[in-house]
A and B are shown apart, each in its own frame.
Chain A
Amino acid sequence: MGAIDVAGKSIEVDEDGYLLNLGDWSKDAAEVLAKGEGIPLTEAHWEVVNFLRDYYDEYKIAPMIRILTKEIGKKLGKEKGNTKYLYELYPGGPAKQACKIAGLPKPTGCV
């Protein structure tokens, strides 16, 4: 358990740094979470974050990596739907890091 500071407001996170309450997410929170991961958020990073938020909104889970690449390929173009592209954006693991920045729980299907 811990907390992060977003624009002067304290937001609760779990022991791995994921937001405890989805509703606490904001673009500012994403910037803070990204900083914690050492990732500067570019347009390409936001594209993945937004994709994940839409996905969660529809299915109530975060996808595992294999599904993430497949679905990103379908939605954002084939050149983005592969692990190489996503690992370049999120070297610590796209599912893990991007989900955290998107304010989602840890991806289901992680073993």
Chain B
Amino acid sequence: MVEENIPDEQSEEDKTKFLFIMKKSPHGSTYPQEGLEVILIMAAYDQTINVLFTDDGVFCLKKGQDTKGIKVKDFSATFKVLEQYGIEHMYVDRQSLEDRGLKESDLLTGVELVDSEEMREFIREQDVILPF
């Protein structure tokens, strides 16, 4: 329980840069759900956290998922809290989206479409990469 030991403010440069890379489809394995839980836990430590959705990971953000029929929790709703939790950006790989017949309007709000060329340098700048 992180009830009281909220750490002192760190300057931006002192913070560790984390990038979560979500590459897997939402209901084909438990990876995305576990990744999301790790993101939420990490958010308690006030570091710099970004998330990149690429490959089948873009399906995690598809609007209108109704999981009643397969009897699992619809955790896609939980991606909407990331902004509240202080996650900097939710990047979505444009090419992955297009390859899968999806448009930005198919996705939950609050995401930013990016090209892999833009991400190349960004990935290199990270301190820790966590793939899910």
Contacts and interface: CB of A to CB of B under 8 A. Distances in A.
B84 A71 contact: yes
Interface string A27-55: 00000000000000000000000000000
B81 A95 contact: no
Contacts of B31: none
B2 A111 contact: yes
A58 B80 contact: yes
Contacts of B43: 64, 109
A67 interface: yes
A96 B74 CA distance: 23
Contact of A60 (B3, B41, B44, B74): B74
Nearest to B46: A66
B78 to A, nearest CB: 5
Interface footprint category on A: 20 to 34
B41 A111 contact: yes
Contacts of B130: none
A1 interface: no
Contact of A58 (B44, B73, B75, B77): B77
Interface of A: 58-61, 63-67, 70-71, 83, 93, 95-96, 107-111
B2 A65 contact: yes
A66 B84 CA distance: 10
Interface size of B as a range: 10 to 19
Contacts of A65: 1-3
A61 B37 CA distance: 10
Nearest to B79: A59
A2 to B, nearest CB: 21
Contacts of A110: 1-2
A108 B40 contact: yes
A96 B81 contact: no
A60 B2 contact: no
B78 A64 contact: no
Contacts of B78: 59-61
Interface in B1-51: 1-4, 6, 37, 40-41, 43-44
A63 B3 CA distance: 12
B85 interface: yes
